[in-house]
Amino acid sequence: EVPILPQPPPHPPPPPHPCARWLYPASDLTGCRDLRGADLRGVDLSYSKLDFVDFAYARLDGARLYKATLVEASFRGASAVGADLREGSFKDADLTAANFSAAKLVKADIVAAKLSRADFSGASLQRATLTMLRDAAGPSFAAADMRGAVLTDSVMPDASFARADLTGVRVEDVTLERADFRGAVGLGSVFWLDARLPGSNLAGTRLDGLSFDGQLQGADLRNASFRHATMTRLQAQRVRASNADFDGAKLRGANFDGADLTNATFLGSDLLGATFVGATCTAVAWAPQNRYSTYFRSPC
């Protein structure tokens, strides 16, 4: 007969985090800033002063940090899925590789923060301010709601805005090299001033009526629609724009040198001063802006 060995005693529960007594709304964590790797799921820190707190690799899924101040806080590698961060202040915060998917960041103030590889997919960023972002390569705003947001004075290479709602967004003095806008909506209502989007993917997007001041060198504009857009002095060298629709667009002084415009249409477009040196214009539909003009020659 096999003897029955006594069961070892159960492991005691882990000791409470030393900062646990500070984890309540409107708290001040000035004296307890090390929450690195802590499990803070569902915690309520609304209205709290969380400046300089280290949340690196912490779990903040479903947490409430409404109107919290997070100046120079670190969220590096943290998970804040579905967290409530509305009207939070993230000045100089480190959000590198953090997961904010489906989080609420309405009217959040994200200033001079580090955003490299941060995930805001499906997040609510309506009327949020994102400015002076420099260490911000590869963030994802895929399927995010960014209606009315402001994005200024930033460099964000390889950012994804795929399927995002960008209605009413203001973009000024921003470099979005190789950005992905496929499936994004509201692009025609975005105000673009001094925007640099070289190599970006706008294939199949609708930008009808937009006002764009900037650069699109090497961008993918295949099957995109720019009907009645205003893009004076557009820099569009080497763009891939086959089947693109520029009907009625204002393109004075635009540069399409080296572009692929196969099957594109420019019916009623204003092309005064535009250049098409070395462009591929196979089966392009041209027509003068003035319908009474009796002579029009392909510029290619």
Full-model pTM: 0.90
Across 3-17, average pLDDT: 71
Q: For residue 294, what pLDDT is reported?
A: 38
- Mean pLDDT, to the nearest integer, of 279-297? 68
Confidence band for 295, pLDDT divided at 50, 70 and 90: very low
Distance CA 259, CA 76 (A): 41
Residues of the chain with CATH 2.160.20.80: 32-172, 197-299
How many C-beta atoms surround the C-beta of residue 68 within 10 A? 27
> What is the C-alpha separation between 16 and 39, in angstroms, rounded?
11
Mean local confidence (pLDDT), 163-191: 97
pLDDT averaged over the chain? 93
Task: State the Cα–Cα distance between residues 293 and 52, nearest whole angstrom.
Answer: 66
Query: Above 80 in pLDDT, residue 298?
Result: no
pLDDT digits (tens, 9 = 90+) for 216-253: 999 999 999 999 999 988 999 999 999 999 999 999 99
> Does the pLDDT of residue 53 top 50, yes or no?
yes
Number of other CB atoms surrounding residue 167 within 10 Å: 18
Residues 256 and 233: beta-carbon distance below 8 Å: no
Q: What is the pLDDT of residue 2?
A: 66
Exposed / middle / buried, residue 18 (Cβ in 10 Å: 0-12, 13-18, 19+): exposed
Round to whole Å and give the CA distance between 77 and 35: 13
- List CB contacts of 213: < 8 A, sequence separation 6 or more: 192, 193, 194, 195, 231, 232, 233
- The arithmetic mean of pLDDT across residues 103-113, rounded, is 98
Say how many Å lie between the first and final Cα of the chain, rounded: 95
- Give the pLDDT of residue 292: 41
User: Is pLDDT above 70 for 33?
Assistant: yes
Considering the segment(s) 32-172 as one domain, its CATH architecture is 3 Solenoid (2.160)
The DSSP annotation for 36-55 comes to TT-B-TT-B-TT-B-TT-B-
The pLDDT of residue 291: 46
Task: Identify the CA nearest to 201 among candidates 161, 144, 244.
Answer: 161
Residue bearing the bigger pLDDT, 5 or 278: 278
- Burial of residue 234 (CB within 10 Å: 0-12, 13-18, 19+) is buried
pLDDT-derived band at 293 (thresholds 50, 70, 90) equals very low
pLDDT at 21 over 90: no
Class for the domain spanning 197-299: mainly beta
Name all contacts of 48-52 with Cβ < 8 Å and 24+ positions apart.
none
Q: Is the pLDDT of residue 90 over 90?
A: yes
Q: Is the pLDDT of residue 289 over 70?
A: no
- Contact between 186 and 205 under an 8 Å Cβ cutoff? The reply is no
- Secondary structure of residue 21 in the 3-state scheme: helix
| pLDDT attached to residue 300 | 72
